[in-house]
Each structure stands twice: as structure tokens, then as C-alpha cells.
Amino acid sequence: MKHFLVLIIVVFTLSCKGQVTNEEERKVGGPCEDCVALMDYQKLNIQPLAVDTLPRFNEHEPKIKISGTVYKRDGSTPAENTILYIYHVDRNGLYQPSDDPVGWEKRHGQYRAWLKTGKDGKFTFYTFRPASYPGTSEPQHIHIYVKEPHTIPYYLDSYLFESDPLLTESEKSSQKDRGGSGIIKLEMRDGIYTANRDLILGLNIPEYE
């Protein structure tokens, strides 16, 4: 009987600790229904690294490499243990899932990945340039969500391509620069189109303290 009571106390204690952890997470960034998709890496038992490659990278052109550094709000201190979630459409402009999708892959498609910064705050991902949505004037883009320690996931401005003819001046001026400007310039380096975009946590993010 004593052992049974001890077990109940332990389970209750761990449960309470889990609830406290969730309650302590800051709610920032404003409404975002699908930002929870970032947490799919737990369902998939993925251990995010600072460098990753999106699925079927070798099958598509043009290939691109995007790097950057995540900084804290001061814009100079590297942000460690920050998780980034990247996803985009295929070359037909569709969010195409795999044959056996898990979680939000059903909506976000299979072309997605997770990154986690180390002490230097750096990250790099390899993928291919996505198409625009079929029959629309929506610029080509790559979505990016972020999760800081003790903070719920929130979205940053998507990656946009300076060379995209659909990226008009009106589109550029409508950007909120969440985390900094998402407009990148691709340059051919070592046989792959390459760009850099640094991220500043909290920049232009509502309710961020």
C-alpha cells in the first residue's frame, strides 16, 4: 500500500511540473493556428541540428543553401537552443505530403525541416527553390517559425527571393520584418545558389518583452 501511495505522489508531482513548464512559456507573436506544427519534431523523434537538408533535395533544381545567425533582441548576442522550423511547397507550388504523413505534414507537405542553434547561434539548411502557388501572384517563399526556450512557437517573415518577378515593390513594402527582413539575394557559390539571413528574436514581434 505504501509503495502504491508513493507511486501516486511521484506521478502527481511530475504531472504538476509538466503543467508548470507549459504555463511558464511566454505567449508572444499574435495569433498563429499552425505554429504548433513546429513541435512535430517531437512526434518524429528528431533531434534538430544546426545544419539540415530538406527531403528530396537531390531530385530538384535549382538547389539553394541558406545560412544565418540567430541573435537575441540586442541584435549582437548569439541565441543558443533556438529551434527553427522551415517548410515550403514543391516545384508545382503544392504542399505535397509523403505517402505516410505525420502531424502537420498533411497540411505543410513533406518539404520541411527543423534546426537548432548552438552557442554561436548559427544555422544552415539546404533545399530547392519552391514555386509560386498555382494560378496566383503570390511570390515564391519559404515559411519559417521559431521557438525560443520558455516561449511558444511564433512565425517570422517568410524567406522571399529578390529575383522573383512576383515580388513587387508593393509586396516588399507590405512585409512586417518580423525577425528582420526576409528578402534574400541568391548568389552562385561553389555550384549552389547561396544566401544569408540573420534573425533577431523579438524584432517586430507583438507582445514580446
The residues near 81 (Cβ < 8 Å, ≥ 6 apart) are 116, 117, 148, 149
Residue 171 has what pLDDT? 96
What pLDDT digit, counting tens, does each position of 61-120 carry?
A: 999 999 999 999 999 999 999 999 999 999 999 999 999 999 999 999 999 999 999 999
Residue with cell 530547392: 128
- What's the grid cell of residue 99? 505517402
pLDDT digits (tens, 9 = 90+) for 153-198: 999 999 999 999 999 999 999 999 999 999 999 999 999 999 999 9
Measured in whole angstroms, how far is the alpha carbon of residue 140 from the centre of its chain?
Answer: 16
Residues in the chain: 209
Output the pLDDT for position 7: 42
Domains of the chain: 2-200 (2.60.130.10)
